[in-house]
Amino acid sequence: MAAEAIAKRYGERFVFYLCGANDTDPNDATMGKSCGAMMQGRHRLERMQVFAAYVQQKYGASINRRQSFAVVPGVGHHGRGTMTAPAGLKFLFTPLR
């Protein structure tokens, strides 16, 4: 499948992105540190913010009907903390369509 077709399909998907507001440790041992990864941001929160801006630029405002980004206050890189927060619960228990 061509890259353009993949990008088009991705823009049509329902996606919800979560990141902890405290997921800002640039020295986290589990975070990618390659040149490409570091160009995306110094830590996971910054990387999500950069990606969110890219998605808005690439797909325009209509993407907001299908994809959402949420920052969970008081949580770092912790799956349970993000998924049990109100934003995570909304994602888990609200129909996407």
- List pLDDT tens digits, range 53-81: 999 999 999 999 999 999 999 999 988 99
Residue 81 belongs to domain spanning: 3-93
Average pLDDT over residues 34-50: 96
Residue 46 pLDDT exceeds 80: yes
- Alpha-carbon distance of 5 to 2, in angstroms, equals 5
Of the CA atoms within 13 Å of residue 26, those in its CB half-sphere come to: 8
pLDDT at 96: 66
Contact 20, 76 (CB under 8 A): yes
Average pLDDT over residues 13-28: 95
Count: domains in the chain: 1
The radius of gyration of the chain from alpha carbons, rounded to an integer in Å, stands at 15
pLDDT at 97: 63
pLDDT at 94: 82
> Which amino acid belongs to residue 37?
A
Q: Supply φ then ψ for residue 19, to 5 degrees.
A: -150, 140
